[in-house]
Structure 1
């Protein structure tokens, strides 16, 4: 694994305080599957024809720019009074989409930069991480390729980003969008387990590369917390504040959440934010703020569910019907805090 350090001038490593404006004692993170954030251009190498003006979804520039504004609105609302430090995004198409999001919406005021994958997903969708430079200093990034065999379709790469946070801790961040349940949960299970295997190998290796690893994993796993891929393969367990966390174990902060995605009337928790125990120990400089993790569900992200009752996410498309909403997933938000040691 190749690690990159940011050097200034003749090999001088500047302290992070040189890059900061006014320091905060909180550090908020969001994970969000934005539901098919495609531009309107046809990429002949990918199966993205439906998201063009002539495609069967009639994906016009007007709809595209409305989508960009919606994603921007959610990011700003989740940050409340301060810009989110990190935003993991699933289902973004390419660099053009990311540049438009950060330069043609109100997000341009918040000085975000991004890293993203450029994988071989047949539809051309990727994952990305936005980082706010006053709160996270990028040191390096890499894509983790998930192997495929036989006639399996290539899937999305996993994004690994590492950088320095205000507390002078190095934080390793993983953004994942695991293979879908297309063809059935059982038939597709192996593909998600293969992806988890790649992720687990990399997170385990950090305990040999870092003195005190701080690991943050987020994204759409297309599995619930109790499914085999997460609970047994990744070994991401439920976290209880009543029990002392073990620094090298992984804990799913959304193990008992009610759900971020609704399918046929059932809420399921397919989106997750997972941390290692070091980020749950309050004596550490950087740690999860108690009871700060939530499925972010303001009223503008929900509409009445006329088919199954209750409410459901206000989607961009419901099937092939254009609704003009936000996404078929709700975002997750976690707040960290840091102490001067």
Structure 2
């Protein structure tokens, strides 16, 4: 059995340098983000994967990440247990205004990277000035080889819901482009995995539409639809439970002759990484609540799918 996981790690930034003035903005946008808090954050994220290993007997062979800032934080992470420098990194700096990116970690003993690219998106602003185009986080696309299987992996962190969901057209545009690429791959009988923080739930129109081709034939499966329908969530907004973190797979993973046939999907939410406040029981134990430092793991739980021979 192999695990494929995705985790929004909530603002994994290097420590901020000391500002010249107290009111100067910081690189991270966080309050008092120093070396001690950074090292605690790294330990907490690594500990999540140690817990995954203890529960499943193995680490995920592929890990999609979001809200990481730069490659250095990833290099610091994979030096820690349980990775012990056995994992490689696929990462590109994006043009995101908050300087957060998506990335992929992979077990170097199991996975070979064939190719990768950052799919960048530009959006025209009101001034229609190319120098002031809006940008967002890239979608990371990687082609990898596992034994004899070629797998195409897309990792996304779509624009957030804010200000009456002003970013919805951007999410639609990005998903349409991803869908176009996925259809080309599926038409060539390729394995495809699309994962990420979509800032939409599995039953939202955009994420239902991407499951089908132009002839309304189903080409992707989203096992997180069932989890969401039964009240399972990876993050929360005020009182609302959300399942923005999902992993979608091509139909090829549901064939018995695939050595990585789909087994099950889940949200990893043991008590150790959950909120300790009884008023927020069952929610992720986050690093910050607004500007208040809590010292937790992330405001999202990781999600995963198990793959193996039927």
TM-score clears 0.5: yes
Q: 1:98 — aligned with what?
A: 74
Confirm or deny that 1:259 pairs with 2:233: yes
Q: Deviations over 1:126-185 (max 9, x none)?
A: 00000001221111101111231124631011001111113x110111110000012123
Q: Deviations over 1:290-317 (max 9, x none)?
A: xx2110011111124555x543110000
Q: 2:243 — aligned with what?
A: 269
Q: TM-score, normalised by structure 1?
A: 0.79
C-alpha contact 1:27 1:135 (8 A) present in aligned 2: no
Q: 2:9 aligns with which of 34, 42, 61?
A: 34
Q: 1:141 — aligned with what?
A: 116
Give the whole-Å Cα distance in 1 for the aligned partners of 2:248 and 2:212: 7
Q: 2:140 aligns with which of 122, 144, 159?
A: 159
Q: 1:120 — aligned with what?
A: 95
Q: Deviations over 1:180-224 (max 9, x none)?
A: 012123x2211110111121121122145x4x3111111100001
Evaluate the alpha carbon distance shift between residue 319 and residue 306 of structure 1 in structure 2; reply closer, same or farther with a 3 A threshold: farther
Pairwise CA distance, 1:108? 4.4
C-alpha contact 2:266 2:305 (8 A) present in aligned 1: yes
Confirm or deny that 1:316 pairs with 2:287: yes
Q: 1:180 aligns with which of 143, 160, 167?
A: 160
Please tell me the root mean square deviation across aligned C-alpha atoms, in Å.
2.2
Gaps of 5+ in 1: 1-25, 238-245
Runs of 4+ in structure 1 off by over 6 angstroms are none
Give the whole-Å Cα distance in 1 for the aligned partners of 2:233 and 2:73: 28
Q: Deviations over 1:225-265 (max 9, x none)?
A: 11122112x1369xxxxxxxx8x711111012221111112
Give the whole-Å Cα distance in 2 for the aligned partners of 1:338 and 1:169: 13
C-alpha contact 1:221 1:272 (8 A) present in aligned 2: yes
Gaps of 5+ in 2: 127-132
Give the whole-Å Cα distance in 2 for the aligned partners of 1:236 and 1:129: 26
C-alpha contact 1:230 1:236 (8 A) present in aligned 2: no
Q: Partner of 1:256: helix, strand, or coil?
A: helix
Pairwise CA distance, 1:270? 0.6
Give the whole-Å Cα distance in 1 for the aligned partners of 2:11 and 2:234: 16
Pairwise CA distance, 1:32? 0.3
Confirm or deny that 1:69 pairs with 2:48: no
Pairwise CA distance, 1:320? 1.0
Tell me the matched-pair count: 290
Q: TM-score, normalised by structure 2?
A: 0.87
Give the whole-Å Cα distance in 2 for the aligned partners of 1:56 and 1:132: 31
C-alpha contact 1:147 1:194 (8 A) present in aligned 2: no
Q: 1:132 — aligned with what?
A: 107
Confirm or deny that 1:88 pairs with 2:103: no
Q: Partner of 1:114: helix, strand, or coil?
A: strand
Confirm or deny that 1:300 pairs with 2:280: no
Confirm or deny that 1:206 pairs with 2:185: yes
Q: 1:286 — aligned with what?
A: 260
C-alpha contact 2:196 2:246 (8 A) present in aligned 1: yes
